[in-house]
Amino acid sequence: MALSSRDQLSAEEAFIYDINRFNVLTSRAKQKMLLLCSESFLDYIPRDRDVFAYAARVRQFAYGFCNVEQALSVQNERGEIESPAVRWRYRG
């Protein structure tokens, strides 16, 4: 998901949090599915009740299903070190 600005998320929430789109995204994967998104995307609270329910399912996938988290150190375009979280599913 390439949006992280709250204004952009708000303007396009019905489209980007559409549960049917997410279901197609996840169900078409042959072996693995990779979801790249910002914490802003996962933590955004939509105004519309239906969209809120869909966003909660995406959030549950990322924070519940993906049960391992690790910080990744990367250098941004200003030369600063950032530590975004990387999450994945581990079945041990």
**What DSSP line would sit under 4-60, residue for residue?**
--HHHHHHTHHHHT-HHHHHHHHHT-SS-------HHHHH---SSHHHHHHHHHHHH
Confidence of residue 5 (pLDDT cuts 50, 70, 90): confident
Helix, coil or strand: residue 69: strand
Confidence of residue 1 (pLDDT cuts 50, 70, 90): low
In eight-state DSSP terms, residue 62 is I
The predicted structure's pLDDT at residue 53 = 94
Residue 31 has pLDDT above 90, yes or no: no
Token pair for 36? 């790249």
Residue 11 has pLDDT above 70, yes or no: yes
Cα–Cα distance for residue pair 61/49, rounded to 1 Å? 19
pLDDT in tens, 37-83: 888 899 999 999 999 999 999 899 899 999 999 999 999 999 999 99
* Average pLDDT of the segment spanning 7-18: 90
